[in-house]
Amino acid sequence: MSDFGDYGGRYVPETLIPALDELERGWREALADDSFRAELHHLLTTYAGRPTPLTLAERFAPGKRIYLKREDLLHTGAHKLNNALGQAVLAQRLGKRRIVAETGAGQHGVATATVCARFGFECVVYMGEEDMRRQRPNVERMRLLGAEVRGVDFGTRTLKEATSEAIRDWITNVETTHYLIGSCVGPAPYPELVAELQSVIGHEAREQMLAAEQRLPEAVVACVGGGSNAIGIFHGFVADEDVRLVGVEAAGAASLGSGRPAVLHGARSSVLADEDGQIADAHSISAGLDYPGVGPEHAFLRDTGRAEYRVATDEEALAAFQELARTEGILPALEPAHALARARDLDAELILVGLSGRGDKDLAEVLERL
Amino acid sequence: MSTSNPARGVSGKKLVIYLVAEPETPDLAQAAVEGGADVIELGFPFSDPLAEGPVIRRASERALARGMRTHACLDVLERTRELLPETPIVPMTYAAILEAYGYERFVTDARKRGATSFILVDLPVEEQPALRRIQLVAPTSTEERIRAAAEVTDGWLYLVSVTGTTGARTELSPTLPPFVQRVRAVTDVPVYVGFGISTHELARAAGGLADGVIVGSRAVEVAETGRDALRDFVASLRTALDS
């Protein structure tokens, strides 16, 4: 079923299987259709603000050449819009005019609400109540954009439960609704589809890096929650075997570092789970990384040795957040602050870091902790 | 599958009662059979059950908080089998549980402890073909998928009556009669209808279309009030099905 070794698959109720078949067919047709690519390219350049720049962070990492791929400068402030725009164009082709999505940090919710406003779609976003508390500005932004935000008040009240509720909504409204999943997780074909839509990050960055340095980076570093920004930037370099791919997880949500093979949200991957297959709780200061699962392609890249995965603690992320603000005048989101923390002590000199989003949404959480 | 209680079930319509595996469940399952249940569907709880509405999700959370992991659920299965030697007992769970336990090992151990068959709500028909189980079909299933499920199902087909999650509904979906017809057109396998069947009126209506009905969320709620209430509720369903 998948190209990710033992990972991936479609572990969902029968009700959804025909919709996944339809999505897969629609996706293959779109990929082969120049007009789909042209429409998406037009939106990415005239609406989203692509290409995003590459910034050399000299003061942040003296003695190294760390380049930041500036997805924080994309419209809505994070890489999530690449995927949301692509899926919106796809939903339109499929004739679906109602969109459901889950969100953790709120960045995917905002991106989804944004494209729904742009396309005139009805939009419902599920969000854990704990995340609504710590990402309040994004809740307000989604509402201003016309989305309905539905709080999820059970379980961990974070991204895991929000995702389950979004899938339950999709099961109930599958005839009219497209599930605009926010990361490279979920049943096939979502992991592959989201990776393809996010690969624009890596393809752009590779060209920009060659233009700036006339060589490829020694390492590409990106934070991993579900893993969409990491898979997007990795895809630009996965064929360059000398380029190290380094994913950085939150220490309390290290699905790749300390997980085991298990099934969550429709796919088999590396998951924080107990020996009975019950899903464990993740813990991170960063709502976007606070997820016990990860995209199946990351589990595959880990097992094959093509990518390596490390962790950063809440404190390390906070320190990197402050350091980037004071040395470069950039407030990163807490999620890529994890990648920044590991990039600085990586045994490499020329490094590309995926700066997946900006930190405005995190101010309340950061100020509380400093 | 045979009915355990020949005095009841004169209509021949099967009544399946779903309960979440907890320490009290063997006694509750016995009460359900006293009320006229033909089959017990025994839910092994999973932390992230995508097909469940709020009632069964909450019951699953509660059971997990009480330690109802796979081994404890198998113990409940065995004790239920001791109380109900003749009744088909069908564990219903999610792929995650079998991924962790091992598919073959689960089937072997569960059968040894008294399982008649299995229902895996998030394991599509094309996955794990060696695992003989009761297949589910949904209103969205294509004719090709219905046929594939009917060919390999273990005894009967589980018809999901609505596009949606489990949980009580106030009326039968208007799409159910054409859906049942669509399934009948491709298979002679008995079809039982579940999801949303919460009252004796709905059970009677669904029983008029299908060979059996499955009552889950409402049974779980009633079971929380005790074995007598559950027995009486099941008896009301039985009477409705037989009338």
Interchain pair A164, B48: CB under 8 A: yes
Q: Any CB–CB contact under 8 A between B95 and chain A?
A: yes
CB distance A366 to A81 below 8 Å: no
> Could you give the ipTM of this predicted complex?
0.94
Which of A102, A165, A263, A274 should one mutate to test binding to chain B, selecting the residue with the greatest count of B CBs within 10 A? A263
Nearest to A168 by CA among A107, A102, A227: A102
| B1 lies in some domain | no
Interchain pair A174, B50: CB under 8 A: no
Q: What is the mean pLDDT of residues A250-275?
A: 97
Residue of B nearest to A266 (CA): B122
Parallel, antiparallel, or unpaired for β B14-20 and B39-43? parallel
- B63-96 burial, b if ≥16 CB within 10 A, otherwise e? bbeeebbbebbbebbbbbbeebeebbbbbbbbbb
In angstroms, the separation between the Cα of residue A82 and the nearest Cα of chain B is 27
Parallel, antiparallel, or unpaired for β A260-264 and A267-271? antiparallel
| Residues in chain A closer than 8 A to B121 (CB atoms) | 13
Interchain pair B100, A172: CB under 8 A: no
Say if residue A265's pLDDT is above 50. Answer: yes
Q: Any CB–CB contact under 8 A between B123 and chain A?
A: yes
Rounded-to-integer distance, Cα A279 and Cα B94, Å: 12
Amino acid A52: pLDDT: 98
| Residues in chain A closer than 8 A to B164 (CB atoms) | 15, 171-172
Amino acid B2: pLDDT: 42
Q: Say which residue, A74 or A135, is predicted with more confidence.
A: A74
Q: Considering only the beta carbons, identify the residue of B64, B100, B141 that sits closest to A262.
A: B100
**Mean residue pLDDT across chain B:** 95
Residue of A nearest to B121 (CA): A13
| B42 lies in some domain | yes
Amino acid B243: pLDDT: 86
With tokens 């109720």, the residue in question is A13
Interchain pair A261, B165: CB under 8 A: no
Rounded-to-integer distance, Cα A56 and Cα B198, Å: 63
Interchain pair B163, A173: CB under 8 A: yes
Indicate the SS3 state at residue A140. helix
Q: What is the pLDDT of residues A194-236, one digit of tens each?
A: 999 999 999 999 999 999 999 999 999 999 999 999 999 999 9
State yes or no: cis peptide before A137, omega within 30 of 0.
no
Cα angle value A190/B103/B57 (rounded, 5°): 60
| B148 lies in some domain | yes
| Residues in chain B closer than 8 A to A168 (CB atoms) | 50, 53, 165
Q: Any CB–CB contact under 8 A between B234 and chain A?
A: no
CATH number of the domain bearing residue B111? 3.20.20.70
Domain enclosing residue B229, as ranges: 14-242
Interchain pair B165, A168: CB under 8 A: yes
| B181 lies in some domain | yes
| B6 lies in some domain | no
Indicate the SS3 state at residue B217. helix
Q: Any CB–CB contact under 8 A between B145 and chain A?
A: yes
Task: Collect the ranges in chain B with pLDDT lower than 70.
Answer: 1-8
Give the residue numbers of A marked as catalytic. 80, 102, 356
Domain total in chain B: 1
CB distance A247 to A343 below 8 Å: no
- Work out how many CB contacts closer than 8 A connect A with B: 112
The per-residue DSSP string of A103-127 comes to ESSSHHHHHHHHHHHHHT-EEEEEE
Say if residue A320's pLDDT is above 50. Answer: yes
Segment (H or E) for A315: helix A314-328
Rounded-to-integer distance, Cα B52 and Cα B70, Å: 19
**Mean residue pLDDT across chain A:** 96
Indicate the SS3 state at residue A185. coil
Interchain pair A14, B165: CB under 8 A: no
Say if residue A1's pLDDT is above 50. Answer: no
Residue of B nearest to A9 (CA): B127
Q: Any CB–CB contact under 8 A between B136 and chain A?
A: yes
| B59 lies in some domain | yes
Structure tokens at B19: 């309960």
Domains in chain A, CATH or no CATH each? 14-42+80-179 (3.40.50.1100), 49-78+198-369 (3.40.50.1100)
Q: What is the pLDDT of residues A162-176, one digit of tens each?
A: 999 999 999 999 999
| B3 lies in some domain | no
Q: What is the pLDDT of residues B10-28, one digit of tens each?
A: 889 999 999 999 999 999 9
Say if residue A72's pLDDT is above 80. Answer: yes
Q: Any CB–CB contact under 8 A between B75 and chain A?
A: no
Q: What is the pLDDT of residues A26-54, one digit of tens each?
A: 999 999 999 999 999 999 999 999 999 99
Residue A148 forms beta bridges with which residues?
Answer: A124
* pLDDT above 70 as % of chain A: 99
Rounded-to-integer distance, Cα A186 and Cα B112, Å: 34
Q: What is the pLDDT of residues B52-67, one digit of tens each?
A: 999 999 999 999 999 9
- B19-48 burial, b if ≥16 CB within 10 A, otherwise e? bbbbeebbbbbbbbbbbbbbbbbbbbbbbb
Residue of B nearest to A276 (CA): B100
CB distance A240 to A216 below 8 Å: yes
Q: How far is CA A167 from the centre of its chain?
A: 18
Nearest to B193 by CA among B62, B14, B65: B14
Rounded-to-integer distance, Cα A21 and Cα A26, Å: 9
Amino acid B8: pLDDT: 65
Rounded-to-integer distance, Cα B209 and Cα B221, Å: 25
| B7 lies in some domain | no
Q: Considering only the beta carbons, identify the residue of A167, A172, A276 that sits closest to B97.
A: A276
Residue A102 forms beta bridges with which residues?
Answer: A126
